[in-house]
Structure 1
Amino acid sequence: MTQHVSEHDVRAIAEYARIRLTDDEILPMTEDLNSIIDSLHPITEYDLEGVEPTFHPIGGLSNVMRDDVEEAGFTQEEALSNAPKQLDGCFLIPSILGEGGDR
């Protein structure tokens, strides 16, 4: 198996992705990543001479989104109409920090 990524690379990738890997997990992860990269080798054997790159699977679409047009929104009363609890025109939600209670 070809060494595409080293243990040092795996540590750097894990740190960047904020994945905590133990020292015992680094070697198996390095082997797995190198195996995955090796499995992609057959793709390099295709003759792609003259094939234009495709950046979108559907083709030449430029912008399929609607125009950004301002529309009327909810009034404060409409927005709060289904709120289980409200106080002074605001949503009242359970506190997840501190001593609890509604905030």
Structure 2
Amino acid sequence: MPLSKEDVAGIADYARIALSEEELDEMTSYMNEAVALLEPICEYDLDGVEPTFHPIGGLSNVMGNDVVDDSTRALPIDSALLNAASTQGRYFRVPSILGDEEGDR
């Protein structure tokens, strides 16, 4: 079922996109071509296939916690800052990249 100009105008209005009549005609044609490209998907037998909302299924947070489990492996702050060009307390000090007139902070 092809999209009508009214359908495309409604989508454009929802997206807050102003389209002239010429642009509306062009976008209607473009969107109908895009929908036609998806037609082969309708040929698949999907009976019994559960819908997924993520391509990897039930995957949840796979990142580990940001905690050091072994304090003997952690690099001491003094060692980490030893060869730094400039430091400020426990931190590396670097030049500003934002064009700040006051210089680096």
TM-score by length of 2: 0.54
- Any stretches of 5+ residues in structure 1 without a counterpart? 70-74, 92-103
What corresponds to 1:82 in structure 2?
95
What corresponds to 2:54 in structure 1?
56
Hey, what's the Cα distance between the residues in 2 that align with 1:28 and 1:6? 12
Corresponding pairs, count: 83
CA-to-aligned-CA distance 1:7-44 (integer Å, 9 cap, x gap): 12212222222323211121221122122212211101
Preserved CA contact (<8 Å) 1:14 1:20? yes
CA-to-aligned-CA distance 1:42-63 (integer Å, 9 cap, x gap): 1011111222333322333222
Hey, what's the Cα distance between the residues in 1 that align with 2:29 and 2:39? 16
Q: Give the AA of the match of 1:82.
A: P
What corresponds to 1:31 in structure 2?
29
Q: Give the AA of the match of 1:47.
A: D
CA-to-aligned-CA distance 1:70-99 (integer Å, 9 cap, x gap): xxxxx8xx6986334229xxx7xxxxxxxx
Computing the radius of gyration over CA atoms, which structure comes out larger, 1 or 2? 2
TM-score by length of 1: 0.54
Cα 1:86–1:48 shift into 2, 3 Å:
same
Q: Give aligned-pair identity as a percent.
A: 49
Cα 1:15–1:85 shift into 2, 3 Å:
same
- Any stretches of 5+ residues in structure 2 without a counterpart? 68-87
Give the structure, 1 or 2, with the largest relative contact order (CA under 8 Å, sep 6 or more): 1
